Amino acid sequence: MNTEKVSAVVTGGASGLGEATVRNIVANGGKATIFDVQDDKGEKVAKELSEHVTYVKTDVTDETSVQEALNKVVEKQGAINTVINCAGIGNGEKTFSSSKGPHQLATFQKVINVNLIGTFNVIRLAIEKMQENQPNDEGERGVIINTASVAAFEGQIGQVAYSASKGGIVGMTLPIARDVAKLGIRVMTIAPGLVDTPLFANLPEKIRDSLGKMVPFPSRLGYPEEYATLVQSIIENPLLNGETIRLDGGIRMQPK
Protein backbone atom coordinates (compact mmCIF):
# COMPACT_ATOMS: atom_id res chain seq x y z
CA MET A 1 0.00 0.00 0.00
CA ASN A 2 1.20 3.47 -0.86
CA THR A 3 1.85 5.31 2.41
CA GLU A 4 0.36 8.50 0.99
CA LYS A 5 -2.98 6.70 0.73
CA VAL A 6 -2.98 5.44 4.32
CA SER A 7 -6.13 6.21 6.30
CA ALA A 8 -5.28 4.71 9.65
CA VAL A 9 -6.65 4.02 13.08
CA VAL A 10 -3.97 3.78 15.76
CA THR A 11 -5.11 2.48 19.14
CA GLY A 12 -2.98 3.72 22.00
CA GLY A 13 -1.85 6.44 19.61
CA ALA A 14 -1.58 9.17 22.23
CA SER A 15 1.83 8.04 23.50
CA GLY A 16 4.73 5.61 23.10
CA LEU A 17 4.73 3.24 20.12
CA GLY A 18 1.36 4.48 18.95
CA GLU A 19 2.31 8.14 18.94
CA ALA A 20 5.51 7.41 17.02
CA THR A 21 3.45 5.49 14.50
CA VAL A 22 0.97 8.34 14.08
CA ARG A 23 3.80 10.79 13.47
CA ASN A 24 5.43 8.47 10.93
CA ILE A 25 2.17 8.02 9.03
CA VAL A 26 1.72 11.79 8.79
CA ALA A 27 5.36 12.30 7.76
CA ASN A 28 4.76 9.94 4.86
CA GLY A 29 1.64 11.70 3.65
CA GLY A 30 -1.08 9.64 5.35
CA LYS A 31 -3.86 10.40 7.81
CA ALA A 32 -4.51 8.87 11.22
CA THR A 33 -7.12 8.80 13.94
CA ILE A 34 -5.99 8.15 17.51
CA PHE A 35 -8.12 5.79 19.59
CA ASP A 36 -7.12 6.25 23.23
CA VAL A 37 -8.44 7.14 26.68
CA GLN A 38 -5.70 9.66 27.48
CA ASP A 39 -7.58 12.83 26.57
CA ASP A 40 -4.81 15.33 27.32
CA LYS A 41 -2.16 13.48 25.35
CA GLY A 42 -4.44 12.49 22.50
CA GLU A 43 -5.78 16.00 22.03
CA LYS A 44 -2.27 17.45 22.21
CA VAL A 45 -0.98 15.23 19.38
CA ALA A 46 -4.12 15.85 17.31
CA LYS A 47 -3.81 19.61 17.77
CA GLU A 48 -0.15 19.58 16.71
CA LEU A 49 -0.94 17.54 13.60
CA SER A 50 -4.43 18.92 13.12
CA GLU A 51 -4.62 18.71 9.33
CA HIS A 52 -3.88 15.00 9.34
CA VAL A 53 -4.75 13.61 12.79
CA THR A 54 -7.94 13.31 14.82
CA TYR A 55 -8.39 12.10 18.38
CA VAL A 56 -11.42 10.04 19.39
CA LYS A 57 -11.74 8.87 22.97
CA THR A 58 -12.22 5.11 22.67
CA ASP A 59 -12.37 2.17 25.05
CA VAL A 60 -11.04 -0.72 22.96
CA THR A 61 -12.76 -3.26 25.23
CA ASP A 62 -16.22 -1.77 24.61
CA GLU A 63 -18.09 -2.77 21.45
CA THR A 64 -20.23 0.37 21.27
CA SER A 65 -17.29 2.70 21.91
CA VAL A 66 -15.22 1.14 19.13
CA GLN A 67 -18.12 0.97 16.68
CA GLU A 68 -19.00 4.63 17.19
CA ALA A 69 -15.35 5.66 16.88
CA LEU A 70 -14.94 3.73 13.62
CA ASN A 71 -18.08 5.36 12.24
CA LYS A 72 -16.58 8.78 13.01
CA VAL A 73 -13.38 7.85 11.16
CA VAL A 74 -15.25 6.74 8.05
CA GLU A 75 -17.37 9.89 8.16
CA LYS A 76 -14.30 12.15 8.42
CA GLN A 77 -11.65 10.27 6.41
CA GLY A 78 -13.89 8.46 3.95
CA ALA A 79 -12.45 5.03 4.67
CA ILE A 80 -10.22 2.97 6.96
CA ASN A 81 -7.52 0.95 5.23
CA THR A 82 -4.99 0.55 8.04
CA VAL A 83 -5.27 -0.36 11.72
CA ILE A 84 -2.34 -0.42 14.13
CA ASN A 85 -3.18 -1.85 17.54
CA CYS A 86 -0.85 -0.40 20.18
CA ALA A 87 -3.24 -0.03 23.13
CA GLY A 88 -2.20 -2.17 26.08
CA ILE A 89 -1.43 -2.40 29.78
CA GLY A 90 1.00 -4.40 31.91
CA ASN A 91 1.23 -5.71 35.44
CA GLY A 92 3.62 -7.64 37.65
CA GLU A 93 2.19 -10.47 39.70
CA LYS A 94 3.23 -14.08 40.28
CA THR A 95 0.87 -16.99 39.80
CA PHE A 96 1.38 -17.66 43.49
CA SER A 97 3.32 -15.77 46.14
CA SER A 98 3.98 -17.04 49.68
CA SER A 99 3.37 -13.52 50.98
CA LYS A 100 0.42 -12.51 48.78
CA GLY A 101 -1.20 -15.80 47.88
CA PRO A 102 -2.71 -16.63 44.45
CA HIS A 103 -2.62 -14.21 41.54
CA GLN A 104 -5.64 -11.91 41.68
CA LEU A 105 -8.13 -13.14 39.11
CA ALA A 106 -9.43 -9.61 38.51
CA THR A 107 -6.02 -8.29 37.47
CA PHE A 108 -5.45 -11.25 35.14
CA GLN A 109 -8.84 -10.67 33.54
CA LYS A 110 -8.18 -6.94 33.14
CA VAL A 111 -4.89 -7.47 31.29
CA ILE A 112 -6.44 -10.08 29.02
CA ASN A 113 -9.46 -7.86 28.43
CA VAL A 114 -7.46 -4.80 27.36
CA ASN A 115 -4.54 -6.40 25.55
CA LEU A 116 -6.08 -9.43 23.87
CA ILE A 117 -9.84 -8.95 23.75
CA GLY A 118 -9.46 -5.23 23.09
CA THR A 119 -7.18 -5.95 20.14
CA PHE A 120 -9.59 -8.51 18.70
CA ASN A 121 -12.56 -6.22 19.27
CA VAL A 122 -10.97 -3.49 17.15
CA ILE A 123 -9.87 -5.98 14.49
CA ARG A 124 -13.26 -7.59 13.97
CA LEU A 125 -15.14 -4.29 13.77
CA ALA A 126 -12.52 -2.60 11.57
CA ILE A 127 -12.63 -5.48 9.09
CA GLU A 128 -16.33 -4.81 8.61
CA LYS A 129 -15.38 -1.32 7.40
CA MET A 130 -12.33 -2.38 5.41
CA GLN A 131 -14.11 -4.99 3.33
CA GLU A 132 -16.14 -2.19 1.73
CA ASN A 133 -12.98 -0.50 0.37
CA GLN A 134 -12.13 -0.52 -3.31
CA PRO A 135 -9.10 -2.83 -3.79
CA ASN A 136 -5.82 -1.40 -5.06
CA ASP A 137 -3.79 -2.88 -7.91
CA GLU A 138 -2.69 -5.77 -5.66
CA GLY A 139 -6.30 -6.49 -4.70
CA GLU A 140 -5.60 -5.14 -1.23
CA ARG A 141 -8.31 -3.47 0.82
CA GLY A 142 -6.47 -3.06 4.09
CA VAL A 143 -3.76 -4.04 6.54
CA ILE A 144 -3.94 -4.70 10.27
CA ILE A 145 -0.82 -4.58 12.45
CA ASN A 146 -0.95 -5.75 16.06
CA THR A 147 1.48 -5.31 18.92
CA ALA A 148 2.60 -8.33 20.93
CA SER A 149 5.87 -8.56 22.89
CA VAL A 150 8.87 -10.82 23.32
CA ALA A 151 7.07 -11.73 26.56
CA ALA A 152 4.79 -13.81 24.35
CA PHE A 153 7.74 -16.17 23.91
CA GLU A 154 9.93 -15.62 26.99
CA GLY A 155 7.68 -14.33 29.71
CA GLN A 156 9.54 -13.45 32.87
CA ILE A 157 8.67 -14.12 36.50
CA GLY A 158 5.56 -12.12 37.33
CA GLN A 159 4.50 -11.70 33.71
CA VAL A 160 1.93 -14.48 33.47
CA ALA A 161 -1.02 -12.21 32.64
CA TYR A 162 0.93 -9.99 30.25
CA SER A 163 2.56 -12.96 28.52
CA ALA A 164 -0.77 -14.74 28.14
CA SER A 165 -2.33 -11.66 26.56
CA LYS A 166 0.54 -11.13 24.14
CA GLY A 167 0.81 -14.84 23.36
CA GLY A 168 -2.86 -14.72 22.41
CA ILE A 169 -2.18 -11.92 19.95
CA VAL A 170 0.60 -13.95 18.33
CA GLY A 171 -1.61 -17.02 18.23
CA MET A 172 -4.53 -15.33 16.50
CA THR A 173 -2.46 -13.54 13.85
CA LEU A 174 -2.33 -16.36 11.30
CA PRO A 175 -5.93 -17.57 11.64
CA ILE A 176 -7.28 -14.03 11.28
CA ALA A 177 -5.04 -13.49 8.25
CA ARG A 178 -6.46 -16.68 6.76
CA ASP A 179 -10.02 -15.63 7.63
CA VAL A 180 -9.74 -12.33 5.76
CA ALA A 181 -7.38 -13.24 2.92
CA LYS A 182 -10.20 -13.41 0.36
CA LEU A 183 -11.22 -9.90 1.38
CA GLY A 184 -7.76 -8.59 0.45
CA ILE A 185 -6.85 -7.72 4.03
CA ARG A 186 -3.44 -8.54 5.53
CA VAL A 187 -2.79 -9.16 9.23
CA MET A 188 0.63 -8.87 10.87
CA THR A 189 2.01 -8.61 14.40
CA ILE A 190 5.13 -6.96 15.79
CA ALA A 191 6.70 -8.31 18.98
CA PRO A 192 8.90 -5.55 20.43
CA GLY A 193 11.64 -6.15 22.96
CA LEU A 194 12.84 -3.45 25.34
CA VAL A 195 11.67 -0.17 23.83
CA ASP A 196 12.03 3.25 25.43
CA THR A 197 8.34 3.97 25.99
CA PRO A 198 6.60 5.74 28.91
CA LEU A 199 6.81 2.42 30.76
CA PHE A 200 10.56 2.99 31.14
CA ALA A 201 10.48 6.77 31.41
CA ASN A 202 10.39 6.93 35.20
CA LEU A 203 13.15 4.39 35.78
CA PRO A 204 16.54 5.65 37.05
CA GLU A 205 19.10 6.12 34.31
CA LYS A 206 21.28 3.39 35.82
CA ILE A 207 18.50 0.82 35.48
CA ARG A 208 17.67 1.98 31.95
CA ASP A 209 21.33 1.56 30.95
CA SER A 210 21.41 -1.88 32.56
CA LEU A 211 18.34 -2.97 30.63
CA GLY A 212 19.82 -1.67 27.39
CA LYS A 213 23.00 -3.68 27.92
CA MET A 214 20.92 -6.87 27.97
CA VAL A 215 20.29 -6.40 24.25
CA PRO A 216 22.97 -8.13 22.09
CA PHE A 217 23.05 -5.43 19.40
CA PRO A 218 22.50 -2.57 19.42
CA SER A 219 23.02 -2.64 23.18
CA ARG A 220 20.41 -0.07 24.12
CA LEU A 221 16.69 0.34 24.52
CA GLY A 222 14.82 0.47 21.26
CA TYR A 223 13.29 3.69 19.98
CA PRO A 224 9.56 4.02 19.33
CA GLU A 225 10.51 5.41 15.91
CA GLU A 226 12.06 2.04 15.05
CA TYR A 227 8.72 0.38 15.70
CA ALA A 228 7.03 2.99 13.51
CA THR A 229 9.51 2.33 10.71
CA LEU A 230 8.69 -1.38 10.81
CA VAL A 231 4.98 -0.53 10.64
CA GLN A 232 5.73 1.50 7.52
CA SER A 233 7.63 -1.41 5.96
CA ILE A 234 4.73 -3.78 6.62
CA ILE A 235 2.26 -1.33 5.09
CA GLU A 236 4.40 -0.98 1.96
CA ASN A 237 5.19 -4.68 1.43
CA PRO A 238 2.13 -6.66 0.23
CA LEU A 239 3.82 -10.03 0.74
CA LEU A 240 4.05 -9.60 4.52
CA ASN A 241 1.05 -11.41 5.93
CA GLY A 242 0.10 -13.80 8.75
CA GLU A 243 3.39 -13.49 10.63
CA THR A 244 4.87 -12.07 13.84
CA ILE A 245 8.13 -10.12 13.53
CA ARG A 246 10.37 -9.73 16.59
CA LEU A 247 11.82 -6.23 16.94
CA ASP A 248 14.27 -6.84 19.77
CA GLY A 249 17.96 -6.51 18.84
CA GLY A 250 18.34 -10.28 19.32
CA ILE A 251 17.42 -10.34 23.02
CA ARG A 252 16.09 -13.51 24.65
CA MET A 253 14.60 -12.65 28.01
CA GLN A 254 15.87 -14.42 31.12
CA PRO A 255 13.52 -15.59 33.93
CA LYS A 256 14.09 -12.29 35.76
Task: Tell me the CA distances in angstroms from 88 to 7, 26, 59, 94, 213, one per residue in order.
Answer: 22, 23, 11, 19, 25
The pLDDT value given to residue 35:
98
Query: Mean pLDDT across the stretch 222-245?
Result: 98
Domains of the chain (ranges plus CATH)? Answer: 3-247 (3.40.50.720)
Average pLDDT, the chain: 96
pLDDT band at 191 (very low <50, low <70, confident <90, very high): very high
Model pTM score: 0.96
Nearest of 35, 14, 41, 32 to residue 231 by alpha carbon: 32
Confidence band for 237, pLDDT divided at 50, 70 and 90 = very high
Beta carbons of 31 and 84 less than 8 angstroms apart? no
203 pLDDT higher than 80: no
Residue among 55, 162, 223, 227 flagged as catalytic:
162
Per-residue pLDDT of 25-72, as tens digits, reads 999 999 999 999 999 999 999 999 988 999 999 999 999 999 999 999
Q: Which residues contact 136 (CB under 8 A, 6 or more apart)?
A: 1, 2, 5
Q: CA–CA separation, 55 vs 44, rounded Å? A: 9
Buried/exposed code over 38-59 (b: 16+ C-beta within 10 A; e: otherwise): beebbeebbeebeebbbbbebb
Report the largest interatomic distance among the alpha carbons of the chain, rounded to a whole angstrom: 60
The verdict on whether 223 is a catalytic residue reads no
Express each pLDDT in 122-135 by its tens digit: 999 999 999 999 99
Find, among 10, 20, 36, the residue nearest to 144 by Cα.
10
pLDDT of 201 above 80: no
